[in-house]
Chain A
C-alpha cells in the first residue's frame, strides 16, 4: 500500500487528479476497451472533480470512453432531489464533461426491486470487465461507501441501513430535520471495492485522523472497514498532514521517505513509471 502524504487538501486533490489523468491517458481507452472507474460522493472528492473538469476543459482529458460506477445512493429519495447522489454527480462532474449518458452507472434507489438492482449492478461491473480504479473517501468511523462498522469485509452491493451518526451528520443537507434524511441506502460492498484492480482512498482533515490510524497501523478489522485495503495488491491512500495526526511519527517518516525515493526515480529520464513498473525505452 502506498501512503502519499501531502501538505493540505488542495495538494491532495492536485495529486489525485493528476494521478487519475495519467492513469486514464496511459491506459488509452477505446470503445472496445474502456476505462472503468469507481467514483465517490461527499466533500472529499469535490476538489478532485473540479480539477478533472479543468483538465477536460483544457483538452487534456476526455471521458468519451470512460465508464463510471458510483459507490452508493439513497433509497426512496427522488432522483432529482438536490441531495440525491444523482444530482451530486451531475452538478459536480457529468454536467461539465463529455461522458456519454450510457457510460454512467449509479444505483437506482427508487427501483421496484432493490435487491435485484444490487445484483444487476454487480453483474454490470463484471460485464464491462471489472473496475480498473476505484476512487473513494473515508468516514470518521473508517467506513468506505456506506459500509458502516460491522459490515462484512467480503460484502457485495446491497441495501444497507444507515448508522444513526451518519443520519445526524447528513441532516444538515435536509434542513436540519433528521426525519427527512433517508434511512436506507444501496451501497457497493467492501468486497466490491477491493475487487477493483486499484483502489485510491482520499483522506483529509483532522476528523479522519483516527480512522486513518486505525486503518493502516492496526489489523484488518470490520469495525474500520477501510482496513481491508491492507489486503489489496495495489492500494493507495492520499492524505494531508492533518489526517496524520494520530499516526506514529515513525509511520509518517517512513512513508514520506519512500515517496521521496519514488519522486527521485520518476523524473523524465527515469526508467520507472507512475505505477512503479520499470520501463524500457525502445531506443536504449
Chain B
C-alpha cells in the first residue's frame, strides 16, 4: 500500500509493529502531489527495517509531509510519540516513534502547541510516564488540519449491526414463552434471532430502523425455550457406527439429521479404541464436517475414547487395540496422527486411563500444546491419588462416572472420589463427569449421590451405539458384536458386559429429574450449559445469551404432577426450524 511516493507503510497485526519501508529512489525525491490516503492493508509487513533510514532530516517540510501521511494512514484513535524509544511499536490505540522521528514531528507540533498533552505514557514492559512523550489523537490531527481528509475511527465493536454490504438478515422474535437463559428460567420472555445467532433485543430495538420481520407467538401454550442439547459421547446411532471408516461421511450425515428429533443440536462423534490407521483416516474426515450447521446438528469435534485405556477395564473395547504411552505424548501423536495438532483440530475430548505408563507426562504435554482439547479419565484402574494427580496434570473430566473404573471405596474413593474433592494441591477444581442416566449403567441412587456431591459438574451423555433408534437385536460396535438384552440394555454378545446404550437424550433428562429430584431446568442444564462449558464453547452454545448460536428447542406439554414431563415441539438450528 502506497501512502506517499516516499515510502510504504504496513501494519503487522501479529507483532503490532508498523514499519515504513523506503521505496527505491525515494530518499531524495520530493513529491509535489499530496499523498493518497488509503486505509492500511492488514497484511504482515515484509520486513522490520528501521524507519530511521527513510527520513531526511535536512529537509523539514518533506519530513512533515511524511509524518502527515504516516498519521493519516493509521486507523487508531491516537498515536503516542516518545522521545526515548528506539523502535517503532504500535498497538491498537497508540504507537510511538523514535527519537529521530520525533524530531521530524516536532516541527509540525511546534506550530500547534495544542497537540501536546500533559498526561503521557510510553510503551514498554511497564507503562511509564515520560516527560518527552506526546499523545496525538486523530481528532487533534483533524482539527489542526494535519490530515488531508478527515479520518474517523472504525467502530471496534460490530455486535448487533451488520456491515452495509451484507445481505439483509431476517429478524425473528419468539414471544410469550419462558426461556432458559444462562442456566435459569426467565418467565414471560422473548427470544430474538438474526443471522443464525441470538441477538440482544434491546440494542436491536434502539439501533434498528424496524422491528421484527417475523413474530412466532406461543400465546396460549405454556412453552419453554431451551438451548439445543449437546451430546458429547455417542458412538453411533440409527444403525451407523462412527468407527466404521468406510462410511464415516454417511454416518455423520444420517446421525446429524436424525438426532434433531431428540433435540440434540450439537454432538461429539465418539470413536472407541481402534488401531492407529482408523484414527488417521477418520479424524480428517470429521475435521471437514466440523462446524457446519444448516439443517442438521453440528459436529463439534471427535471424542476419542481410547486406546490408552486399562485393559482390565476395557468394557466393550477391543483389547487388541489398547496400548500404553511409554514415550509420553509422542505415542499419542503417532496413534492419532497429525490431526491432533492441526490448527482447527477435529479432536475435542480424549478419554485416557491415567495410570497407563507415561500418561501423566502425556496429559501434561498435550494440554500444553493444545488447551482446547479436553482430557477425560475413564476405563481406568487408577486409585484416588493417581486420579487426583491426573487432574493436576490437566484432566478436567471423567468419562461415564461409575462405569469402567474402580468403585467407590471409603478409604480410597478412586476416580469417583474426585467429585467430592476440595481443591487439589494445584488449585484445580472438581472435574466434570459424564452420567449415562438410563438406570442401567448406574443405579438411580448412585446418580443421586453423585449429583448432590457436584451438581454443576453433571453432564448427561447417551454413550449411544449404532443399535440406538433401531429395531432388532444384534449389532456391531467397532470390531465387537453386541446384543440387545432388554429395552434399554445392550451387552457384548455372550456376556453381561454393558456395551454402550440405546437411550435418547430426552429420556436421560427425564431420568435425571426422577432419580435426583432436581428441577427440569437443572436437568436440562446438565445437557446444555454443562457440556458446553466443559469443552469451552459456552461463549457460543448452551446459554441462549446474545451473540450465541441460535440452536434451541421449544418444549411444551408440561405436567404439574410430573416434573420430568415434557415434549419437544420445535427444534431450531442456526435460527431455522428443522423439524416440527
Contact = CB atoms under 8 A, between A and B. Distances in A.
B202 interface: yes
Interface string A91-130: 1001100101110101000000000000000000000000
Contacts of B203: 79-80
Interface string B208-232: 1111000000010000000000000
B209 A90 contact: no
Nearest to A108: B206
A86 B210 contact: no
Contact of B211 (A86, A90, A100): A100
B321 interface: no
Main secondary structure of the interface of A (DSSP, over half): helix
Interface string A185-216: 00000000000000000000000000000000
B206 A86 contact: yes
A95 B206 contact: no
Contacts of B219: 57
B209 A101 contact: yes
B434 interface: no
Contact of B201 (A57, A95, A102): A95
A87 interface: yes
A63 to B, nearest CB: 11
B200 interface: yes
B205 A80 contact: no
A52 to B, nearest CB: 15
B99 interface: no
Contacts of A104: 205-206
Contact of A95 (B190, B208, B209, B210): B190
Q: Which of B190, B208, B211 is packed against the most chain A CB atoms within 10 Å? A: B211
Nearest to B190: A95
Contacts of A98: 211
Chain A interface residue number, banded: 10 to 19
A197 to B, nearest CB: 27
A90 B202 contact: yes
Contacts of B206: 79, 86, 90, 101, 104, 106
Contacts of B190: 95
A98 B203 CA distance: 16
Interface in A48-100: 57, 79-80, 86-87, 90-91, 94-95, 98, 100
A87 B202 contact: yes
A55 to B, nearest CB: 15
A92 B219 CA distance: 19
A80 B205 CA distance: 11
B202 A86 contact: yes
Nearest to A100: B211
Contacts of A80: 200, 202-203
Residue in A79, A95, A100 with the greatest tally of chain B CB atoms within 10 Å: A95
A101 B202 contact: no
Interface string A29-64: 000000000000000000000000000010000000
A31 to B, nearest CB: 15
Nearest to B188: A96
B210 A101 contact: yes
A90 B49 CA distance: 54
B205 A101 contact: yes
A91 B188 CA distance: 11
Contacts of B208: 101
A100 B210 CA distance: 7
Interface in B66-86: none
A91 to B, nearest CB: 8
Interface in B489-513: none
B201 A101 contact: no
Nearest to B205: A101
A44 B391 CA distance: 54
A34 to B, nearest CB: 16
Nearest to A101: B205
A55 B312 CA distance: 68
Interface in B542-561: none
Contacts of B211: 98, 100-101
A6 B263 CA distance: 51
Contacts of B210: 100-101
Nearest to B204: A101
Given A100-B211, A101-B210, A101-B211, A94 B200 contact: no
A100 B206 CA distance: 10
A80 B210 CA distance: 19
A149 B403 CA distance: 72
Contacts of B201: 90, 95
A188 B122 CA distance: 44
Interface string B174-207: 0000000000000000100000000011110110
Contacts of B205: 90, 94, 101, 104
A86 B203 CA distance: 9
A80 B206 CA distance: 10
A102 B209 CA distance: 7
A94 to B, nearest CB: 6
Nearest to B160: A80
B19 to A, nearest CB: 34
Nearest to A94: B205
Nearest to B546: A80
Interface in B325-364: none
A94 B206 CA distance: 10
A102 B208 CA distance: 8
Nearest to B203: A80
B225 to A, nearest CB: 15
Of B200, B203, B206, B208, chain A has the most CB atoms within 10 Å of the CB of: B206
21 contacts: A79-B202, A79-B206, A80-B202, A80-B203, A86-B202, A87-B202, A90-B202, A90-B206, A91-B202, A94-B205, A95-B190, A95-B202, A100-B211, A101-B205, A101-B206, A101-B208, A101-B209, A101-B210, A102-B209, A104-B205, A104-B206
The 7 A-B residue pairs with the shortest CB-CB distance in the complex, in nearest-first order: A90-B202, A101-B205, A101-B208, A80-B203, A101-B211, A100-B211, A95-B190
Given A90-B201, A90-B205, 4 more contacts: A57-B219, A80-B202, A80-B203, A90-B202
Interface of A: 57, 79-80, 86-87, 90-91, 94-95, 98, 100-102, 104, 106
